[in-house]
Structure 1
Amino acid sequence: MMNIESIMQDLLEKRKQSGTYRSLKILDSKAHDFTSNDYLGLAKIDFLSGEDHSFIDNGAGGSRLLSGNKAYHVEAEAFMADYFNAKSCLLFNSGYVANLGLLSSVPQKGDAILMDELSHICIKEGARLSRASHFNFRHNDVSDLEKKLNTVNANNIFIVVESIYSMDGDEALLANIVELAKKYNANVIVDEAHSTGLLSNDGSGLCCQLGIEKEVFARVYTFGKAMGAHGAVVAGSEILKSYLINYSRQFIYTTSLPYHSIQIIIKAINYRKLNSELWKSLQDKIEKFRNQLNEEINLLESNHPIQGVITGSSENAIRLANFLQEKGFDIRPIVSPTVPLHQERVRICLHAFNTDESIDELCRQLNQYYS
């Protein structure tokens, strides 16, 4: 019998040989940030300093069903339900956990989950934890989705998509998907992780911008990206909220978010609502970046801060990322299996705080690399 550490070491060696080995890095703090999901720079704002906050707790002290349900949780959920134009909201500790909690508990045996093939791993893991059958449809392909809807035999059907896809930065065809859901009596679930805080409305996400939020069964909003905080909510009906409280293990058995985290989320939302120019500034930077790159660079189509340069292999992605890091840019490679084989890339995230000069220099270095 092999020692477990020997088995693990062998598997790690396979990753190294295939060029997909991961390790944690801390780059120079002076490096230009083109990798974080802090699109608006809100993570760098100290929302609570200098304010008179009565001390409540450093931690909630338990799960919501035990000692951890505080007035500040209830008030925050009501505030977020109003912001996201939902009947109710339920707090989770992260977007990953929220998707696991929602998808592992709501779909039942005899149901079916249809997921976009590029959905985040937490969506796929949530589906696997459920008792429902689950299938992929081709990315952003409404025709393929309808083919699957025509062939699936289920009591209830759930269509799960991201509003903005985390690796490609493209937008789901939500209006078309909602129409299909009506036609086939399906339930739509939208992960709004990379649209929360962005877009041309008050930051309440793509469903609200399109005016289809009432036609969506459940929406997951994450505060660890453009809102610069931590935590997430599932937005939906009162029945959905009560059901998750009773059946979502990821909610039931988790210590709830502390007061400090809740206050940061609320402050960030209010700040975003009052500073709509942040999104306009970010759009200008996206346009500036895209307009300066040479045509031979394989740049994904995206109007979102997420910009991907396809390199075609893990080795090429790592090589390009290392080149840019040496030039003073915090940019990371994305390799298989996070993205499909031959779709390896460097993922560049633009921010409202990136200067025009740093964007100009990044484009100059990219153009030089590919010249």
Structure 2
Amino acid sequence: MKHFPENLSAKLEIRKQNNALRKLPLSSKRIDFSSNDYLGFSQSEIIFNHTHEYLITNNVIQNGATGSRLLSGNHKLYQETENYIASFHQSETALIFNSGYNANIGFFSAVPQKGDLILYDELCHASIRDGIQLSKAKAYKFNHNDFEDLENLILRNPNTIIYIVTESVFSMDGDCPNLEELVLVSTKYNCYLVVDEAHALGVFGETGGGLVQMQGLQEHVFAQIMTFGKGLGCHGAAILGSVELRDYLVNFSRSFIYTTGLSPHSVAAILVAYQHLKKDSVSILKLKENIVFFNQQKNLLSLKPLFVRSKSAIQSAIIPGNEKVKTIASQLQEKGFDVKAILSPTVPEGQERLRFCIHSYNSTQEISEVLHLLCTFLF
């Protein structure tokens, strides 16, 4: 076998020197403050058993999709699940993709055309930026949640089809944009608004429908990307939008067309998780209470200046420096709390952080204890 390319070895060495080399961690038995399993659905025996029962009842005994959905992989569970998702979110249609990453790659590489313009929040997720890089449209970022900056960019590009892109909950900061104001800007200039709701599904709204739906703005949004690997605790994603958008994606979205579909079991898990979400108001309410309690405790402990302002399940404490934030994360982990350090270059240098993810199954005692420990290790 040939030697590993020197230029690739050099890049790995730089990561090591910067204390930023990524490694795959083993799962732990620590108290969970790191996963995106906000409602505990990934661990739900009810969802697990109901998914199995659904497959058996409907005589679906099949392990794989067998091919692309345009060939042999469009098994009957897809239509029922997409119809349910569309109805749940009060959308014309839903189109399932294999993951949130696939959905964003597929949307942004296919929909904005040459001569169009994409204006995206500077903190948008890597999957959005990767999709934009594959697009033939021009793209500019606007300052985070700064709609004056956004409006200036719009005014510099008259007579142009413009897509405005944001997230309802930003994955590293946990904060939310003012969607009502953003809708006003989008409407004023006839732009197409696209909202990634990956970290809002299961968190916002009485039935966990997300921030757009909670605020009754779905009629003003061109496309919503809903991801199922977080609040729903399973796998996959869907793009919500008009019938025309669905037809266009089926015909032109390469990450949809040229991949094997999800297995019947995966699609059944999505359907059952949505059905459970509609009924499980207890978990949704408990999550909201825990988010409020976390914010109250960090204020009582004088930790508020350290944290990015957030009312979501993501709470980030800025602790500059890869080495320092990794040390504190390790200290918390040694005490039995699974809190992860987010390092540069995942976030900008100087913005390294501890990212606390709050769940419905965390106790108030656990929240209080982990924040008291944070105080001890910091001060």
SS in 2 for 1:324: helix
Q: Does 1:124 align with 2:129?
A: yes
Q: Which residue of 1 aligns with 2:35?
A: 36
Q: For residue 5 of structure 1, what is the amino acid of its counterpart?
A: P
Q: Which residue of 2 aligns with 1:208?
A: 213
User: How far apart, in 1, do the equivalents of 2:353 and 2:263 lie?
Assistant: 37
SS in 1 for 2:139: strand
Q: Which runs of 4+ in 1 moved over 6 A?
A: none
Q: What TM-score, normalized to structure 1? A: 0.96
The 5 A counterparts of 1:143-182 are 143-153=148-158, 155-182=160-187
The 5 A counterparts of 1:71-110 are 71-110=76-115
Q: Does 1:68 align with 2:68?
A: no
Q: 2:205 touches 2:213 (CA, 8 Å); kept in 1?
A: no
Distance 1:320 1:154, change over 3 A: farther
Distance 1:79 1:181, change over 3 A: same
SS in 1 for 2:226: strand
Residue-by-residue CA offset, 1:44-93 (whole Å, 9 max, x unaligned)? 01324273442331111000010001111111111111111111111100
Instruction: Give the deviation of 1:166 after TM superposition.
Output: 0.6
Q: Does 1:112 align with 2:120?
A: no
Instruction: Give the deviation of 1:3 after TM superposition.
Output: 5.2
Q: Which residue of 188, 195, 199 maps to 2:200?
A: 195
Q: Which residue of 2 aligns with 1:13?
A: 13
Q: Which residue of 314, 329, 340 maps to 2:322?
A: 314
SS in 1 for 2:184: helix
User: How far apart, in 2, do the equivalents of 1:309 and 1:286 lie?
Assistant: 15
Q: Which residue of 2 aligns with 1:56?
A: 61
Q: 1:60 touches 1:256 (CA, 8 Å); kept in 2?
A: yes
Q: Which residue of 2 aligns with 1:279?
A: 284
After superposition, the CA RMSD in angstroms is 1.5
Q: Which runs of 5+ in 1 are unaligned?
A: none
SS in 2 for 1:49: helix
SS in 1 for 2:173: coil
Instruction: Give the deviation of 1:356 after TM superposition.
Output: 2.2
Q: Which residue of 2 aligns with 1:327?
A: 335
Q: 1:187 touches 1:217 (CA, 8 Å); kept in 2?
A: yes
SS in 2 for 1:189: strand
Q: Which residue of 2 aligns with 1:357?
A: 365
Q: 1:114 touches 1:160 (CA, 8 Å); kept in 2?
A: yes
Q: 1:189 touches 1:217 (CA, 8 Å); kept in 2?
A: yes
Q: Which residue of 135, 141, 146 maps to 1:141?
A: 146
Instruction: Give the deviation of 1:316 after TM superposition.
Output: 1.6
Q: Does 1:23 align with 2:20?
A: no
Q: What TM-score, normalized to structure 2? A: 0.94
Instruction: Give the deviation of 1:4 after TM superposition.
Output: 4.3
Q: 2:203 touches 2:287 (CA, 8 Å); kept in 1?
A: no
Instruction: Give the deviation of 1:153 after TM superposition.
Output: 4.6
Q: Which residue of 2 aligns with 1:298?
A: 306
Instruction: Give the deviation of 1:203 after TM superposition.
Output: 1.4
Distance 1:343 1:224, change over 3 A: same
Q: 1:112 touches 1:154 (CA, 8 Å); kept in 2?
A: no
User: How far apart, in 2, do the equivalents of 1:274 and 1:119 lie?
Assistant: 31
Q: Does 1:252 align with 2:257?
A: yes
Residue-by-residue CA offset, 1:254-307 (whole Å, 9 max, x unaligned)? 111111111111111111111122222112212222222322561111111101
Instruction: Give the deviation of 1:121 after TM superposition.
Output: 0.5
Q: Percentage identity across aligned positions? A: 42
SS in 2 for 1:109: coil
Q: Which residue of 2 aligns with 1:219?
A: 224
User: How far apart, in 2, do the equivalents of 1:287 and 1:8 lie?
Assistant: 45
Residue-by-residue CA offset, 1:181-223 (whole Å, 9 max, x unaligned)? 1111110000010111221321111111111101111110001
User: How far apart, in 2, do the equivalents of 1:79 and 1:292 lie?
Assistant: 39
Q: For residue 306 of structure 1, what is the amino acid of its counterpart?
A: I
Q: 1:200 touches 1:276 (CA, 8 Å); kept in 2?
A: no
Q: Which residue of 2 aligns with 1:269?
A: 274
Instruction: Give the deviation of 1:115 after TM superposition.
Output: 0.4
User: How far apart, in 2, do the equivalents of 1:247 and 1:86 lie?
Assistant: 21
User: How far apart, in 1, do the equivalents of 2:60 and 2:218 lie?
Assistant: 36
Between 1:41-50 and 1:289-298, the stretch displaced more is 289-298
Between 1:138-147 and 1:279-288, the stretch displaced more is 279-288
Q: Which runs of 5+ in 2 are unaligned?
A: none
Between 1:234-243 and 1:2-11, the stretch displaced more is 2-11
User: How far apart, in 2, do the equivalents of 1:20 and 1:315 lie?
Assistant: 9
User: How far apart, in 1, do the equivalents of 2:259 and 2:284 lie?
Assistant: 34
Q: Which residue of 1 aligns with 2:353?
A: 345
